[in-house]
């Protein structure tokens, strides 16, 4: 890393607040992303392909379920170490971090938190290794911000339950072997079901019209009288709070991940301003460009501080979900603004995938929306402080 990149990376000396293990884990993921992802990210994004051949290597790297106990394939790392892994993955591409977020924070966590011992033993070690891929079906065509309005049902019948409904915008839907599907039972209670994606009546259709998250597989899921056994039910799940608890995990990862995307944009833009000549001097030597770069740095430092303290709250067990909402809201929006500023500083080159800002900016439009939109998180935090539900 050049001196300027290193200076930008840690302008506030926050590395001194990390443990040696956390630094080592972060740097291992960074090396992987530098070698395997960065050289190809623009092409994969443009072509709309996810590098599935790297899934086993990602498993070896330990990015799937790293906070889980070793018996389930995790390594019991700190919340901050998990966050820093997400930061480095998203420095490569938000789609890569999404893949890991869904696998870890959504599908694996759902099984870990709400599943039986048998389900945990059956799925988690293989998911940690990347041998089994999971997706998480909460959003529906007519229920996104308000998942409690879902229409998918799970009725008693056949070997256990019969599922009917549709899910939309499901990350990893077409590459998953199992789908954690959230559905209402006969009493209208939301529960989770682990559905093998080769079940008769289950189908996934990839959404190919995305101008964002192009390196990520996003799908619609259809459940047409899908019969699953008793063992598919996540027995401890009960009510909307069950899937929402999984979202807390993934939102935590986004609070860190977005720092990576923002740093990548800022570093590339800063270097560009030093070599791009206009009116006989580098544009870095103009006051307005310096102001822009410093605005970006300031935003990044704010994001880093929020993410790090969130990590420490996670580890202490004191973290509350409205705190996660504030960090997800501000860091997703912060990274999006940094990416847009970086794109602008690159002028015409800024719109090309030969440079990183446009790709990150396009991805971050999704990150700003999924896992709860900016408005939803504003209302979660507003409700927490003011005690009034304004949804």
Is 150:164 a contact under the CB 8 Å cutoff? no
Candidates 84, 96, 111, 138; binder of ligand TGC (CB under 6 A) is 138
Is 243:182 a contact under the CB 8 Å cutoff? yes
Candidates 244, 285, 301, 326; binder of ligand TGC (CB under 6 A) is 244
Is 36:57 a contact under the CB 8 Å cutoff? yes
**At how many degrees (to 10) do helices 357-369 and 241-275 cross?**
160
Candidates 56, 141, 148, 229; binder of ligand TGC (CB under 6 A) is 148
Q: Which residues are catalytic?
A: 371
Listed residue (141, 165, 145, 143) closest to 153, CA to CA: 165
Q: What residues between 250 and 269 interact with ligand TGC by CB under 6 A?
A: 250
Report residue 109 as tokens.
């966590």
The entry of ligand TGC, ligand FAD, none that residue 101 binds, CB within 5 to 8 Å by partner kind: ligand TGC
CB closer to ligand FAD, 72 vs 136: 136
Q: Report, in Å, the least distance between residue 63 CB and ligand TGC.
A: 13
DSSP 73: T
| 336 near ligand FAD (CB under 6 A) | no
Q: Report, in Å, the least distance between residue 309 CB and ligand FAD.
A: 25
What string marks each residue from 190 to 229 as x (binds ligand FAD by CB under 6 A) or -? -----------------------x----x-----------
Q: Report, in Å, the least distance between residue 122 CB and ligand FAD.
A: 22
| 136 near ligand FAD (CB under 6 A) | yes
Candidates 12, 155, 369, 383; binder of ligand FAD (CB under 6 A) is 369
Is 293:1 a contact under the CB 8 Å cutoff? no
Q: What residues between 184 and 243 interact with ligand TGC by CB under 6 A?
A: 239-241
Candidates 8, 102, 255, 336; binder of ligand TGC (CB under 6 A) is 102
CA dihedral (219, 220, 226, 230) positive or negative = positive
Q: Which residue is nearest to ligand TGC (CB)?
A: 241
CA distance linking residue 147 with residue 144, whole number of Å: 5
CA dihedral (57, 37, 208, 256) positive or negative = positive
Helix then strand count (H, E) for the chain reads 13, 9
Q: Report, in Å, the least distance between residue 154 CB and ligand TGC.
A: 18
Candidates 87, 104, 171, 267; binder of ligand FAD (CB under 6 A) is 171
| 169 near ligand FAD (CB under 6 A) | yes
Q: What residues between 84 and 103 interact with ligand FAD by CB under 6 A?
A: 102
CB closer to ligand FAD, 78 vs 101: 101
Q: Report, in Å, the least distance between residue 10 CB and ligand TGC.
A: 26
CB closer to ligand TGC, 271 vs 384: 384
Q: What are phi and psi of 353, to 5 degrees?
A: -75, 5
CB closer to ligand TGC, 190 vs 356: 190
Contacts for 65-71: CB closer than 8 Å, 24+ residues apart: 65/103, 65/104, 65/108, 65/109, 65/112, 65/124, 65/127, 65/128, 66/25, 66/104, 68/108, 68/112, 68/124, 68/128, 71/125
DSSP 68: S
The entry of ligand TGC, ligand FAD, none that residue 375 binds, CB within 5 to 8 Å by partner kind: ligand FAD
Q: Is 140 left (phi over 0), alpha (psi -120 to 50) or beta?
A: beta
3 state SS for 151-202:
CCEEEEECCEEEEEEEEEEEECCCCCCEEEEEEECCCCCEEEEEEECCCCCE
CA distance linking residue 348 with residue 362, whole number of Å: 16
Rule CB under 6 A: which residues touch ligand FAD?
Answer: 102, 136-139, 144-145, 169-171, 213, 218, 366, 369-373, 375-376, 391
Rule CB under 6 A: which residues touch ligand TGC?
Answer: 98, 101-102, 136, 138-139, 145, 147-148, 171, 239-241, 244-245, 247-248, 250, 321, 370-372, 376, 380, 391
């Amino acid at each position: 890393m050049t001196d300027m990149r290193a200076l930008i990376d840690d302008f506030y000396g926050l590395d001194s607040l990390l443990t040696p293990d956390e630094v080592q884990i972060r740097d291992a993921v960074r090396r992987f992303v530098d070698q395997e992802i960065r050289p190809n990210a623009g092409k994969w994004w443009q072509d709309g392909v996810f590098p599935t051949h790297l899934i086993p290597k990602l498993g070896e790297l330990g990015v799937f379920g790293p906070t889980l106990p070793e018996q389930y394939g995790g390594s019991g790392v700190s919340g901050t170490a998990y966050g820093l892994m997400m930061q480095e993955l998203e420095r490569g591409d938000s789609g890569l971090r999404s893949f890991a977020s869904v696998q870890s924070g959504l599908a694996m966590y759902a099984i870990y938190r709400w599943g039986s011992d048998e389900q945990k033993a059956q799925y988690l070690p293989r998911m940690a290794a990347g041998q089994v891929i999971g997706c998480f079906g909460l959003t529906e065509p007519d229920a996104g911000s308000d998942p409690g309005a879902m229409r998918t049902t799970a009725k008693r019948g056949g070997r256990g339950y019969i599922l009917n409904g549709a899910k939309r915008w499901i990350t990893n839907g077409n590459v998953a072997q199992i789908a954690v599907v959230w559905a209402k039972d006969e009493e209208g209670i939301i529960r989770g079901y682990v559905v093998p994606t080769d079940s008769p009546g289950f189908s996934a259709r990839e959404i190919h019209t995305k101008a964002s998250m192009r390196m990520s597989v996003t799908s619609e899921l259809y459940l047409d009288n899908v019969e699953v056994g008793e063992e598919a039910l996540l027995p401890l799940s009960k009510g909307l709070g069950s899937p929402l608890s999984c979202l807390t995990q993934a939102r935590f990862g986004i609070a860190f991940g977005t720092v990576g995307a923002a740093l990548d944009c800022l570093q590339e833009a800063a270097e560009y301003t030093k070599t791009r000549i206009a009116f006989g001097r580098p544009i870095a030597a103009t006051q307005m460009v310096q102001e822009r770069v410093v605005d970006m740095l300031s935003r990044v430092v704010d994001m880093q501080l929020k993410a790090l303290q969130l990590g420490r709250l996670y580890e202490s067990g004191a973290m509350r979900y409205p705190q996660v909402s504030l960090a997800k809201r501000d860091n997703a929006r912060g990274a999006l603004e940094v990416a847009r500023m970086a794109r602008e500083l690159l002028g015409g080159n800024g719109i090309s995938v030969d440079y990183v800002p446009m790709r990150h900016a396009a991805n971050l439009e999704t990150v700003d929306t999924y896992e709860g939109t900016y408005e939803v998180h504003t209302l979660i935090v507003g409700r927490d402080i003011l005690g009034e539900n304004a949804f």
